[in-house]
Amino acid sequence: MPNSQCAESNEMEVLHQLFSSATYDASAAMCRWTDGLITLTLDEVREIPLEDVCSELDINDELRTMVVLRLRGDIGGEMILTFDEKNGRQLAASLLGQPTSEDSRWNDLEKSALTETGNILGCAYINAITRLIDQELIPSAPYFIQDYGASVLQQALIAQAITCDEVLVCRTGFHREGEELNWRVLFVPTEAMRKAMEATMHFSTGICNR
């Protein structure tokens, strides 16, 4: 393998290690929040050309229910918890101890249940990253939104798009009793966050010396 490809491969490997640790913590928090029903697994960490990112992640013109958290500052990023309508409704109903709503509009209680889920999940994830890279990260309040998935993802990619033609995205999947759910967490770090992650993991694992 040429040196440049080897370096890229190592970078992705260290990022994968870091996101795996964060996903593990987020999964534990989600498991507690849902009484053991829901767990998370890290699906992929990859760089995708800007023009292909929505199609590659299968985030298109489908209406999605999303909770967005932003990490403020240079070492920041965007986290999007995304559900299809059916799964979002089922989670809200399960958390509220109510039957699944058939109403076309989401009521405040349902929105609050999903927003709080995003908050718990996001904070667990962010706490893990904070600990791993030893940097203070400040999350925004979670923002509930229903729209085309690609429209929301686009805005989350802007910070990386300023300097890069390829964007780094971490994708996490959810499972309920072993069954894969149509939920995702997409995390899009800023360039500065990515560099901080790589530097920390290189230092702690010595992977650059292999």
Partner 1 sequence: MTATIVETGSKSVGMGQIVLGRQPGRLTAILGSCVGVTFYHERLQLGVLGHVVLPTSNGQGAKPGKFADIAIPHMLELLKQHGIGPGELDAKITGGACMFGPDGPMQIGDANVKAIVEALKTAEVPIAGKDTGGSTGRRISFDCTTGLLLIDTVGNPSRTL
**What residues line the site for partner 1 (CB under 8 A)?**
50-55, 60-61, 63, 68, 70, 72, 78, 140, 143, 145-148, 150-155, 157-159, 161-162, 165
Pick the closer one to partner 1 by CB: 78 or 110: 78
Q: What's the closest the beta carbon of residue 85 comes to partner 1, in angstroms? A: 12
The answer to whether the CB of 61 falls within 8 A of the CB of 167 is: no
Q: What's the closest the beta carbon of residue 55 comes to partner 1, in angstroms? A: 7
Pick the closer one to partner 1 by CB: 30 or 171: 171
Cα–Cα distance for residue pair 117/67, rounded to 1 Å:
9
Strand partners, 49: 166
Pick the closer one to partner 1 by CB: 9 or 55: 55
Pick the closer one to partner 1 by CB: 119 or 205: 119
Q: What's the closest the beta carbon of residue 119 comes to partner 1, in angstroms? A: 16
C-alpha to C-alpha distances, 94 to 35, 60, 113, 152, 154, nearest whole angstrom: 10, 27, 10, 26, 30
Nearest by Cα to 150 from 50, 58, 79, 49: 58
Q: What's the closest the beta carbon of residue 63 comes to partner 1, in angstroms? A: 6
Give backbone dihedrals phi and psi of 52, rounded to 5 degrees, phi first: -105, -5
- The structure tokens listed for 162 are 């300023």
